[in-house]
Structure 1
Amino acid sequence: MDLLSLRYFQTVAKLENMTLAAEILQISQPAISKMIKNLEGELNVKLFDRTGKYIRLNEYGKRFLVKVDLALQTLEEGKTELLDLSERPTGTVVIFIQAGSYLLPDMITLFRQKYPEAQFKLLQQDQEISRYPAFDLCISSTPLKIPGTVSTPVLTEEILLAVPNEHRLATRKSVRLNELAEDGFISLKIGKQLRETTDSLCHAAGFAPRIIYECDEPSMVRSLVRSGLGVSFIPAVTWGGSQGSSVVLLPIEEPISTRTIEISWYTNRYMTNVAKKFKAFVEDYYKQLEEDKLKNESTNPKA
């Protein structure tokens, strides 16, 4: 039993299609079929049920696949660990991004200025991913309910209300959220963490928000508010400060409107050197954001 046989088996098992597996692995179908048969002969069990040209992973195959996945992952981690020991911060950092996506391009750009060989793979909340996705780091704004992970907060920010400058409340210093119960809201789509948070804030204020526009990106939310088409929630730090002269940002008196950004990681998986460095970089980045905001508030106090 060699590594190549295990990798071929893993590919066939996940696809349950010899032809497609052969195309992906760039070998002939007879060659991969022979290798699978040899592996079954060595194990003395059938790993697949065959019906004509179709194959299905059977119970033996499913159990063996779990072990093969673990073995190949462990070997890959061992290879990466050896690279790390040579103090070369290279490789790919897999980030599951659930909040703060607006800031991520800047973080990656600044980080790669120092470590140009670092690569990144981004998993987003609205992608087709498994319930427990494989990642090095996750940036989220709600507690991450994935077994085997731990989290640390990196930023707590105020959630402000953005209104057009001609809105009836635009001259106020602050508002109570229930004063907006009849307004039309511009919001991110259902499934986004910020949308879940702001919907909960509205419900705490005694009303369900009347959503008139749903958007995929923060930039579109801001544009629609600037156009005077509705009101919206704006995280004070991660979505930037001023939204332009056509928009007024108002603190919310009631209910308390904040969110905490956290960074999470698996405790039972090896974290590469480059992932560790990026984790520390993210923590410092958010700390600097908060310090800059406090400094700006002290030099430009609200009237």
Structure 2
Amino acid sequence: MNLTHLRYFSVVASQQSITKAAELLFVSQSAVSKTIKQLESELNVKLFDRIGRTIKLNRAGKLFYSYVNDSLNLLDRGISSVSGGIQTSEQPISILFEVGSTLIPQIVNRIQENLPNIRLNIAQHVQMDTDLQQYDFIVTTRKIPKYFTAPIISEEIFVGWQSNYPNATVKASTLTNSQFIGLGKHNQLRKTIDDYFRKQQLSINFKYETDDPATVRGLIEAGVGVGFIPAVTWQTVGKSLHLAHLTPHTMRRTVYLCSPVHQLSNVQREISNELVEIFVSAQKKELKI
């Protein structure tokens, strides 16, 4: 089976006629008929019902046509994107980072190196009622309704602090009297933490709260209190702390790449590929205990 077989089949299926298909393809009717027979022989299934001189897609043919048509359209888009050269965008690509802000410098450097003509608008701290439609991509741990959502990585969330602690695990129930440093209640990491302890019918004391992840990381490193350290997205700060797994259940979260655009432009597709590659690469260096 090759691309010619599939293109011939697609035209015959759309025209329901060997004669019309041959005219559109600028080949002989015998060439079209031979190609269709070769395709059916390779698949070991009839794709058309032949009634006299007419042909009609049968059930198997209709099913196969739906896949072939989608595949050819996608392939044509790919050929068009590379044959026309790499696009540039007059409008900047806007990305909202609800999580993963530590990777922003690496992301910007990577895009600047590989896609130097692309302009970026990066947001981190937004109001709850912000219109998310303004962003091309949102890096988050929540699934946004009606948005295209793709999981990028999954990461464990450790407990981290400066003091010496002999064990690699800590029971969640023993943390209720600890003084925690954390983000505000509307932050995605904070929601993951709150959900974890709520399911275990426990509450913890956030003595210090801020809306800035960098401030949280700095205070934990300074030994002000205890914090929660995502293994991938906070790996730089975690290397300087004592870390422990939560028990009896580990705390985990999934990071998603979301977009209101369901059919990405070539530029958006390239940006999404870069984002995914950076997060996947970061996961290979995740914190270990």
Same fold (TM over 0.5): yes
3-state SS of 1:103 partner: helix
SS in 2 for 1:102: helix
Asked if 1:190 is matched to 2:185, the reply is: yes
Taking the TM superposition and a 5 Å limit, the aligned residue runs for 1:65-80 are none
Q: Which residue number in structure 2 is paired with residue 259 of structure 1?
A: 253
Q: Quote how far apart the aligned CAs of 1:113 are.
A: 1.1
TM-score (norm 2): 0.65
Structure-1 separation of matches of 2:207 and 2:172: 17
Following the alignment from structure 2 to structure 1, what is the Cα–Cα distance between the partners of residues 129 and 108?
Answer: 22
Deviation at 1:197, TM superposition (A): 0.7
Matches within 5 A, 1:284-303: 284-293=277-286, 302=289
Write the mapping of 1:222-301 to structure 2, written as runs, cut at 5 A. Answer: 222-241=217-236, 243=238, 245=240, 247-268=241-262, 271-293=264-286
Hey, what does 1:120 align to over in structure 2? 120
Paired with 1:125 and 1:219, the residues of 2 have a C-alpha distance of: 12
- Is 2:94–2:120's contact at 8 Å kept on the other side of the alignment? yes
Of the two, which has the highest radius of gyration? 2
2:194 is aligned with 1:199 = yes
Letter in 2 for 1:94: S
CA distance in 2, matches of 1:105, 1:98: 15
Deviation at 1:267, TM superposition (A): 4.1
Deviation at 1:218, TM superposition (A): 2.3
Indicate how the Cα distance of structure 1 residues 89 and 216 shifts in structure 2: closer, same or farther if over 3 A, else same.
same
State how far apart, in whole Å, the 2-side matches of 1:140 and 1:278 are.
16
Report the secondary structure of 1:292's partner residue: coil
Q: CA deviation at 1:173?
A: 1.3
1:213 is aligned to 2:212? no
Q: Deviations over 1:52-72 (max 9, x none)?
A: xxxxxxxxxxxxxxxxxxxxx
1:121-160 matched pairs, under 5 angstroms: 121-127=121-127, 130-145=130-145, 147=146, 149-160=147-158
Q: Deviations over 1:193-220 (max 9, x none)?
A: 0011111112223222211101222222
Given that 1:136 and 1:271 are in contact with CA atoms closer than 8 Å, whether structure 2 keeps it comes out as no
Gaps of 5+ in 2: 1-79
> CA–CA distance in 1 between the matches of 2:158 and 2:85?
47
User: Residues 246-298 of structure 1, C-alpha deviation per residue, up to 9 Å, x if partnerless?
Assistant: x3111112333001001012245x533222101011111122122233xx85x
Structure 1 residue 236 displacement after superposition: 0.8
Identity of aligned residues (%): 22
Structure 1 match to 2:53? none
Separation in 2, partners of 1:254, 1:97? 31
Aligned counterpart for 2:169 among listed residues 171, 174, 179? 174
Matching residue's letter, 1:157: E
Q: Report the residue type matching 1:108 in the other structure.
A: V
Distance 1:233 1:282, change over 3 A: same
Matches of 1:182 and 1:142, distance apart in 2: 29
* Cα distance between partner residues in 1 of 2:110 and 2:194: 34
Which portions of structure 1, spanning 4 or more consecutive aligned residues, are displaced by more than 4 angstroms?
none
One-letter identity of the residue aligned with 2:216: V
Residues 127/258 of structure 1: CA separation in 2 closer, same or farther (3 Å cut): same
Task: Could you tell me which runs of 5 or more consecutive residues in structure 1 were left unpaired when the two chains were aligned.
Answer: 1-80
Task: Quote how far apart the aligned CAs of 1:242 are.
Answer: 5.3
> Partners in 1 of 2:183 and 2:250 — Cα distance?
20
1:213-252 deviations in whole A, cap 9, x for unaligned?
A: 012222221221223221111101101145455x311111
Partner of 1:70: none
